[in-house]
Each structure stands twice: as C-alpha cells, then as structure tokens.
Amino acid sequence: MTSHYAVLGNPVAHSLSPDIHAFFAKNTHEDLEYGRVLVPEGEFAKTADAFFEHCDGCNITVPCKGDAFKYADELTPWAQAAGAVNTLKKLDGGKILGDNTDGRGLAADLKRLGIKVAGARLLIIGAGGAARGILKPLAEEKPAVITIANRTFEKAQDLAAAFPGIAAAARLGEARGPFDLIINASSSSLKGVLPAVDESVYQGCGCAYDLMYRPDGHTLFSDHAKEAGAARAYDGFGMLIMQAALSFALWRGIMPDAELACRHFR
Ligand code: ATR
C-alpha cells in the first residue's frame, strides 16, 4: 500500500523536498508519494490534523517549525534541544512524534565533506532558531570550543549557557580566531548582507559553511569567506539533502543513499 508524506509550510511551492524524497523512494524501492501542503496563517494544527487522517509523516518548513514542536505528542532529544520540529511521524496507535534532523543533517554533511568537528574551534554566527537547531549535534561531536557570536549579545549568552564547558558567547564584531570552522546560522544571507564579524576570523580558517543554499552553490557569505581567507567554503545544500535522508530513515526505517542524491541534484 502506498504511504503518503509531504512538506508542510508557507510557502511550499518552491520546496525541493518532493524531488529529493521521490529520488530516495526510487532508489530504496519504497512505495510512497510525497507532496506539498500549504499551511494557511495560524492554521497549522487544523492543517496537520486533516493531513494525518490519511498520511504517515511530513517535513515542516518555515514558518511552522515552532507550531510543529507544540503539535507533536512526543519529541526526540534533538527536537527538544532545537525547540523546533522539522519532521513529524505518525506512530502506531496514532500519536505524533516530532524530530529535528537539521543539526544531524549538518553534522553528516560536514563528515561527507571531510571536515572534522572533533577537537575543532568553531564559530557559529547567529543565535536564532537555526543556530539553536544545530548546537546539540555539533556539541556531541566534541569540538574544542563553540563560540556563538550574535548581533544581539544576550541571545548568544542564553544559547551558550545551555552548553556549559563547550560554548561561549561573543558580540558579533568581537569574536576573534583562530577558527577551524565558521558556520553562518544567521539570516543575513537571506537579506543579501554579510554578518558584521571582524574580517580576521576568516584568515587561516579551514572551512566556512553557510546554512543557506543557492542553486549555484554560492552564497554571499560563502564567496566572501573564501575571498577573505577561508580555505574552503560551502553553502547548505548538502545539509538539505542529509536532513531529508534522516527524515526518510525515521519514517521508513531505511537510510537512503544521500551521497548519491548530493551528486544527482548538484
Ligand atoms: P531563525 O530562527 O530562522 O534563525 P531568527 O530567530 O530571526 O531566525 O534569527 C536570525 C538570526 O540571524 C539572529 O541571530 C539574528 O541576529 P539578532 O538576534 O541580533 O536579531 C541574525 N541576523 C539577522 N540579520 C542579521 C544581519 N544582517 N547580520 C547579522 N546577524 C543577523
């Protein structure tokens, strides 16, 4: 019997998730369909209730990750740490499980790219939902230190306090390297501007990674980081594929070939 999945959010028209999951389904020979569901403003619970009458699971995209967190009956430790849910699954008996695969998707993509987090000095730019979503999986890889630099310093402090001994807070312009890995988790790229960190942070940096992605693989941040001294720079496309693969594995119990998908879609 065909199982049904979808991405829920607003907007969803341009989401790549249906293409990615169709690719995974074909490659694993899983019998499923994956669509798009537009969530009208303020109607997440109503939309999700109707969805789960006939469907088995979904991805959640902006602006509904907080609503999905509240909606879930049970939460994985990653969803709890992130305070947001990007994957819902209907369990046997009808309860809804909420997970967050974004941070583990990033950790998996860094592995794919050969970027070591263990023992590394990390700089995370931004302290909003995107930063919160990646902190637990990164901290579990045992970096030497995670400096969280944010425009609003208090938000960096609050986030760092949840990871004592690993994370430290800095004002955006005051973070100083050396850093092995710099991750842009701010929404600056979305706004077409660069985060105002001191330019010296990029010098000697092994890798810069933007959580945003663009079709050509270049974001304002990734290009600038490379020009300013980072040895390598990536956009977040691999993370998109990896988080999707982890959602698929949660639903279907089988891990698709995410590396193959990365090559296929790029
Ligand atoms: P999300 O939950 O999607 O991450 P958010 O909570 O609005 O979105 O957080 C966006 C992050 O990007 C915040 O850390 C924000 O900094 P502030 O906390 O000071 O608002 C950061 N941000 C947004 N625009 C930025 C810019 N132009 N330069 C640097 N940081 C920026």
Domain extent for 62: 3-100+239-265
Task: Let me know whether 137 and 152 are in one domain.
Answer: yes
Q: Both 218 and 127 in a single domain?
A: yes
| C-alpha 188 – ligand 1 centre gap (Å) | 7
Degrees, nearest 5: CA angle 154-159-163: 135
CB of 126 closer than 6 angstroms to any ligand 1 atom:
yes
Tokens in use for 70? 């509240």
Confidence bin at 32 (pLDDT 50/70/90) = very high
Query: Both 172 and 245 in a single domain?
Result: no
Residues 192 and 123 in one domain: yes
Mean pLDDT of 61-85: 97
Rounded to the nearest angstrom, the gap between the alpha carbon of residue 256 and the centroid of all alpha carbons in its chain is: 18
Same domain, 165 and 228: yes
Cβ of residue 133 lying under 6 Å from some atom of ligand 1: no
Strand 207-210: give its sheet, edge to edge.
167-171, 145-150, 121-125, 181-184, 207-210, 232-234
- Reply yes or no on whether 65 is catalytic: yes
Considering the domain architecture, whether residues 24 and 65 belong to the same structural domain is answered as yes
Is a pLDDT exceeding 90 seen at residue 190? no
Q: Enter the pTM of the model.
A: 0.96
208-226 pLDDT per residue, tens: 999 999 989 999 999 999 9
Q: What is the mean pLDDT of residues 103-108?
A: 98
Same domain, 171 and 208: yes
Residues 76 and 139 in one domain: no
Residue appearing with tokens 């403003």: 41
Identify the pLDDT of residue 123: 98
User: Average of pLDDT values for 19-36?
Assistant: 98
Q: Which CATH number covers residue 51?
A: 3.40.50.10860
Percent of the chain scoring above 90 in pLDDT:
98
CATH code, domain carrying 129: 3.40.50.720
Pairwise CA distance, residues 185 & 210, whole Å: 7
44 and 9 in one domain?
yes
CA dist., res. 17 & res. 34, Å (int): 8
Count of domains for the chain: 2
For the residues 5-15, what does the mean pLDDT come to? 97
* pLDDT of amino acid 189: 84
Residues 190 and 133 reside in one and the same domain: yes
Q: Which of 26, 65, 155, 191 is catalytic?
A: 65
